[in-house]
Chains A and B, each alone.
Chain A
Amino acid sequence: MEQSFIKELQTIVGDQYTLTDRESLAVYGYDSTPELESRPGVVLLPGSLSEVARILALCHGAGISVTPRGSGTNLSGGSLSGGGVVVQTSRMNRIVEVDEENLTATVEPGVITSALHREVEGRGLFYPPDPGSMNISTMGGNVAENSGGLRGLKYGVTADYVTGLTTVLADGELLHTGGKTVKDVAGYSLNPLLVSSEGTLGFFTSITVKLIPKPRAKITMLAHFPELNQAALAVSAIIAAKVIPATLEFLDKVTIKCVEDYSHVGLPLDVDAVLLIEVDGHPAVVAEEAASVEEICKRHRCSFFQTAKDADEALKLATARRTALSALARLKPTTILEDATVPRSCIAPMLQVIQETARKYNLTIGTFGHAGDGNLHPTCLTDERDKDEIARAHAAFDEIFDAAIAMGGTITGEHGVGLAKKRYLPRLVGESGIKVMRGIKQAFDPKGILNPGKVF
């Protein structure tokens, strides 16, 4: 990148917030995606909307690419840039307002997801999306990836909560979409289009989300299953029984062992699977639902059923689950994780496909995930130095994706396409799908400077 151009950027954000040294560029060359790295030309840390707008206007004029970055925890390579400008939102981290009359919160994009949780829960309110990474992921990243979480089954994902956005467009112009209203049908619905746009359509500088009252009661349960298949069938049975738990998470044997090694919460090491189940809401309803969950798990031959005795124990169990992905990395240096999602009635056959494929390619795959959402994370434990095994892992995932698509599922439920899943997108959405998406990109960003090369 030319020195004179960097100087101009510097005048916008200040020297201190313009990183150009080799070391800094090297560590902004990765996010949480395995195997992918590329070095940006410069990293900027703006402090305000107007700085972001000026950066974009300048880059637009010069035809230089801009990639937004929150905390760099996405799993699809979405925040990587080869030689362009990376703009990190961490300094824009104010919770601007919690509006208790309209039940909304407005935040800057760099706010950490769990910081918003703490703020609203202190007022008896609730912002449900809670990705495993919530203690570090940013709201901007969550919106751009349409992140899900452990509570997705009952409460939905980020898109279900975003009601208003302020977005800086590719040329630096501002776009306001939605606001605090519950309803809005004026023109095309742009909010849902911007949510999950992975930094390719605009740069969010302000995000308004709706809040709901905090559920009054919650019961957290853990069921041990000696047979994997029974655990999967129990998931479908719970939903078929018209109980919608807030959380219905699945961990297989490999994952259980790694999580227990780290967290020591007393997970069983001799069973094939556990389900972590949380029901919440009105105390009377919660008790009733917990009873049916227990009954269904027992009917599916669970060997042990535990109800958390207090909030502390419940939190420990949920926190242990959140560490699953990282804990799997204890066994092998490299973890390649996928995000295939199927209609939830297909959880059992999907698990079977994963197991068979792992066997066929002689791989260790640990599987955990949001079983209630049909969203599993088969995670291949490997070593990036073993090129042969890596090749087999990719071949295995190829088959797993095909199986998911054949079941009416999708290649990614919540991690986004980014660079990592680009190759599979056409298989899922077809030529027409890609054509429409390209048209949308063209309308928002005709010069193609926003996070180029991602999605398609």
Chain B
Amino acid sequence: MDYVKLINCMRCGMCLPSCPTYKETFLETASPRGRVALIRKVQEGELDQSERLLEYLSLCLDCQACASACPCGVNAGELVTEFTCERKGGEGLSFMEDLVLRRLVPHPDRLEASLVPMRLYQRTGLQKLVRKLGVMKLFPESLERMEGLLPNLPARPLRQTIAEVTPARGEERGTVTFFLGCVMSLIFSEASRATVRLLSELGYRVVTPRNQVCCGAPNMLSGDLDGLKEAVRSNVAVFGGIEADFIVTDCGGCGAELKHYGHHLEGDPEAAAFSAKVRDISQVLALHQEELRAKLKPLPLTVTYHDPCHIAHCQGIRREPRDLLRLIPRLEYRELEAADACCGSAGTYNIAKPEMADRILTRKIDTIRATGVELLATGNPGCLLQLKKGLAEQLPQVGIVHVTELLARSLDGTP
């Protein structure tokens, strides 16, 4: 780890009010400034890598709100991830991690197959029964939480059903390749279908390579750098072989990771070229606002937007999704207070740190309540899962959609 990155933190505290866990605890150990100091002190030999120290660091959501807030360019979230990664990398993967990260995630077929029992479980009515009987209480808490987060799964993952090439509607303006996020494909396939449709409506030929693999973010988070590089190489090879204007994704988390490929394979020009082409779907749609406006039909709805950390803080995209929502005729857009504050999903954080995740989620739901809207739009599957659960429990009158799904509904004029 680069020591200068640590001493660049001048401890001014500008990050403190942006940090979700500091806002909940007011503890210096739960603040970006404190985390950087802890890592620095380990580096300087003043503190050991104690279990407690790692426990403190693990409270970080890596939402990177602190990076947006830091005037001197320190990224505490990234430093924490890097630090824990280095440490974990040295330890090797646990049996479970090896199973999931090496044998499941890199192979879409196996990953998809692993959800078959879950789909059956939902479809046979077993889920209803389990929930009614409270059988889940018998399982470890993390499993119970996972079960609670999972919405109804589509009959088949999108990757298996979507055409490899979706032609442009009308005159073709160019070609884009579509990066299918695992969670989008497995769970939010309707939103991704909408994404492809919007691109095609705007004149793009959309190529969705079937042999693409997971973006590698789960490997990164577990410190599995070899697995990460493997994923990067596979995707760079697959997408590098297709002429396209952009590589588009509608998953904020994947987008942030894909834009880092150049950094992950430092010195590899193809990885850098790959990253340079990556766009969040909102960036591409926002290029064609006038044409889109002409196609959209009125949706008389009140809507607000939650900024996913991976889109606002990691990719710096804030205006485009809002501009797109405002294109929809008769839609009343209301701004959300602290819209770019994390919802507590943060990858698998809501499973690892349920108590903190719930507090952060409740704060988010309270701000949504204050807007009085009917519908919440966002652009990342982790947020969709987390907020769907939060809304269902605390604010059931408010619905939630991916931005592209809402735009597609406006194409049809069906709210």
Contacts and interface: CB of A to CB of B under 8 A. Distances in A.
A329 interface: yes
Nearest to B8: A333
Nearest to A330: B72
Interface in A14-35: 19, 21-24, 26-28, 30-32, 34
21 contacts: A23-B52, A24-B28, A24-B29, A26-B37, A26-B38, A26-B46, A30-B37, A32-B10, A71-B16, A72-B28, A133-B12, A133-B14, A135-B14, A136-B13, A262-B71, A263-B71, A325-B12, A326-B10, A326-B71, A329-B12, A333-B4
B7, B12, B38: most-surrounded residue (chain A CB, <10 A): B12
Contact of B29 (A27, A323, A333, A334): A27
Interface string B41-58: 100001100101100100
B72 A327 contact: yes
A241 to B, nearest CB: 34
B131 interface: no
A320 to B, nearest CB: 9
B71 A330 contact: yes
B73 interface: yes
A87 to B, nearest CB: 13
A117 interface: no
Nearest to A31: B11
Contacts of B34: 27
Contacts of B26: 45, 88, 90-91, 110
Interface string A52-77: 00000000000000000001110000
Contact of A23 (B17, B56, B70): B56
A384 interface: yes
B17 A135 contact: yes
Contacts of A34: 10
A19 B7 CA distance: 25
Nearest to A331: B72
Contacts of A112: 17
B363 to A, nearest CB: 15
Contacts of A135: 14, 17
B236 to A, nearest CB: 31
Contacts of A90: 26
Name the interface size band of chain B. 20 to 34
A26, A73, A263, A330: most-surrounded residue (chain B CB, <10 A): A26
A329 B8 CA distance: 7
Given A23-B50, A327-B72, A30 B11 contact: yes
Contact of A262 (B10, B46, B53, B73): B73
B82 to A, nearest CB: 18
Contacts of B56: 23
B4, B7, B14, B73: most-surrounded residue (chain A CB, <10 A): B14
A335 B10 contact: yes
Interface string A165-205: 00000000000000000000000000000000000000000
B8 A136 contact: no
Given A21-B52, A325-B12, A326-B12, A27 B17 contact: no
A102 to B, nearest CB: 29
Interface in A70-124: 71-73, 88, 90-91, 110, 112
A329 B37 contact: no
Contacts of A23: 29, 38, 47, 50, 52-53, 56
Given A24-B29, A27-B28, A329 B13 contact: no
A136 B38 contact: no
Given A26-B37, A26-B46, A334-B7, A136 B70 contact: no
Contacts of A334: 7, 10
Interface of A: 19, 21-24, 26-28, 30-32, 34, 45, 71-73, 88, 90-91, 110, 112, 133, 135-136, 258-259, 262-263, 323, 325-330, 333-335, 384-385
A364 to B, nearest CB: 15
Contacts of B27: 19, 24
A333 B7 CA distance: 6
Given A23-B53, A26-B38, A136-B14, 20 more contacts: A23-B52, A23-B56, A26-B37, A26-B41, A26-B46, A27-B28, A27-B33, A28-B28, A32-B13, A110-B26, A262-B71, A323-B14, A323-B71, A326-B12, A327-B72, A329-B10, A330-B72, A333-B8, A334-B10, A335-B10
A27, A34, A72, A334: most-surrounded residue (chain B CB, <10 A): A27
B17, B50, B56: most-surrounded residue (chain A CB, <10 A): B17
A32 B9 CA distance: 10
A22 B28 CA distance: 13
B353 to A, nearest CB: 17
Contacts of B33: 27
A212 to B, nearest CB: 25
B276 to A, nearest CB: 21
A136 B28 CA distance: 13
B12 A32 contact: yes
Given A23-B52, A329-B72, A73 B38 contact: no
A152 to B, nearest CB: 20
Contacts of A30: 11, 37
A27 B12 contact: no
Contacts of B72: 262, 326-330
A327 B47 contact: no
A56 to B, nearest CB: 21
Contacts of B53: 23
B17 A22 contact: no
A290 to B, nearest CB: 29
Nearest to A323: B71
Nearest to B73: A330
A30 B11 CA distance: 8
A336 to B, nearest CB: 10
A73, A258, A328: most-surrounded residue (chain B CB, <10 A): A73
A325 to B, nearest CB: 6
Contacts of B37: 26-27, 30
A88, A136, A258, A335: most-surrounded residue (chain B CB, <10 A): A136
A352 B12 CA distance: 28
Contacts of B16: 71, 136
Nearest to B41: A26
Interface string B81-100: 00000000000000000000
Contacts of B11: 30-32
B7, B13, B38, B70: most-surrounded residue (chain A CB, <10 A): B13
A148 B3 CA distance: 35
A28 B33 CA distance: 11
Q: Closest 9 CB pairs between A and B?
A: A90-B26, A329-B72, A326-B71, A323-B71, A327-B71, A329-B10, A27-B34, A333-B7, A27-B28
Contacts of B71: 258-259, 262-263, 323, 326-327, 329-330
Nearest to B6: A333
Nearest to A21: B52
Interface in B249-265: none
A121 B149 CA distance: 40
Contacts of A72: 13, 28
B38, B70, B72: most-surrounded residue (chain A CB, <10 A): B72
